[in-house]
Structure 1
Amino acid sequence: MRLLITMLALSIGLPAIAQDFNGQWKGSFNARGENGRVEYVLEINVDGDEVTGYSYTYPVFGGKKYYDICEIKGSVNKEKKYIEVIEVSKVKSNVPPPYRFDCFQTHKLTYTKNEDLESLTGSWGPAKLSISVCGTGFTKLERRKLKDIVTTLKNDPPPVAKKETPKKTATAPITKTEHKPKPNTGLVKTNKPANAKTSNPVAAKPKITAPLANKETKKTIELKKDTATIVKKSAVPVFEKVVTKPIPRFESRTNKVLKTIEVSQDIVTVQLYDNGEIDGDTVTVTFNGEVVALKKGLSEKPIVLKLKIKENTDNELVMYAENLGAIPPNTALMVVTVDDKRYQVTISSDEKRNGSIIFRRGG
């Protein structure tokens, strides 16, 4: 999962802009004269003509996959659809010493689009900061498509409808208690031995007559446990206030606002997916200072959030990396639905920074 700060926001209802290099590009490069390719990922953020972001190289030594994370800088020429990316410093690596070498690369790439496939292709060579002999080679990267993901954004009403069913089952135990109306004082003591141990705590609460559930027998309590789990499952996508205590190390990280989105409606739907390999990445998400998703694992199935937007103020959604997964970095693919428009957002964070999105709604 990836959480090192970069973001792509594309209105899915609008045609893609050919010169938009922002976001995550995945692919590989090879070394001239050698067999095989090395997995390579670029997280690109463009501001004017300047490029910043991170590169991720995944070499394999002895059958084991490692990672090498570098900070990148560079420039773009949008008219020529050309981008130059230079690795300038190493951020993190788990490559063991026998294979470790400082080979910073420069990638010179050109944007092309063939139907729905967007690509960056070109050549690479050693950057000026490289100490080791790097060699040269060819690079090919592609942007991840959202076509399959967006189709899952259709079901939210079904879980709400399921809330009605457990309440109907709660009426069944009430009819069972009517079989023994005479021994009202001994109702608890005449239960089966399996329930005898819990008779005293139940007998202490018959005074509360408003909720029907308190008049039920021990069998009724067992059913209540089942209904509670059903309600929790259906409530996950809707305004889930999980905790109010501060998240450890959350305040020590800086928040970088990646995108500001103007909205006219008071409800925004957000879906979060793992944007890389499914490797145990977990995140915590806050909205306006409250936790709406606590230590949730990212996968191909979305974490669904419905957020209520306040008027005339900044509504901040912050994603916090609980871990970096088995294969860093940690990046989540976010699908935001606003005013019947959908946006693809690649949002990232690490141990030092959180990814943030601002929603604004005029009065």
Structure 2
Amino acid sequence: MRLPLLLLLSFLSLGASAAEDLNGIWKGTLTQGPGGCYPSYFLELQITVTGDRISGKAYDYYDKAHFVKMSFTGRYNAQTHRMVLIEDRVLEADIPGECQPCVKTYDLNYARNGALEELTGDWKGVYSDRHLICPPGKIKLQKAASSDFPVDVEQNDTLAGIQASLRLQPREKEVVKTVTVKSSQIKIELYDNAEIDHDTVTVFINNKILLYRQMLTDKPLTINFNAFPNLPYELVMYADNLGDIPPNTALMMITAGDQKFEVFLSSTETKSATVKFIYRP
């Protein structure tokens, strides 16, 4: 049977992307033409890939104390090895008063030479407050094992708003298990551990709320997230109450590729059950 050309290209694209793990930290330099604040900056991209969608954070900086943090989204074409990223929001800026954040579009090409992985290409953009064109420039990045800045876990705007106004009582963290996974795609499912007794929990990963005041039942509370290589992740289950039968207990099912783990969690009004993760390709 002959496949339509578009469908065949889709299969080829998926096959090519399987060999290219773009998730992770990319670091290097960004140059800017005459008229920019500096002719050269350092640049770090924290890239998360979900299907054919890319999201993440960008830090361009002259030194680590003076930086602009942006969020971005984009797409990657596995056939052409081309990536287009579009910054959409200034999240944080600590730069000299005479400089202005530039909201950028990246046009990058992926290449691999042995263990070395690179993203190279061009960028252009507009100043965030004046909507004038920034002097464009070039980008050269390599995949890196560590970050120069905090790595965010993706959180939706609703949960971010809740967390900004929330004041929880600090509690001791009790590490129940440390899990090493071989896949960047991690699924966590939480069930009530025994009799359903109205336990509710708030769940953090790396201090970001991903579940807020959710009841544990025989149906899973599910969290999916992408882990970057060799970076630590910490899940904390904070007991909102102790249910009808103290303490607050849960069964956690972890799926990462073909790996599966079961972890039993128990949180109280003084301690929060904690599980640590690390992804080692």
TM-score (norm 2): 0.48
Structure with greater helix percent = 1
Structure with greater strand percent = 2
TM-score (norm 1): 0.39
Which has the higher Rg, Structure 1 or Structure 2?
1
More RCO (CA 8 Å, sep 6+): 1
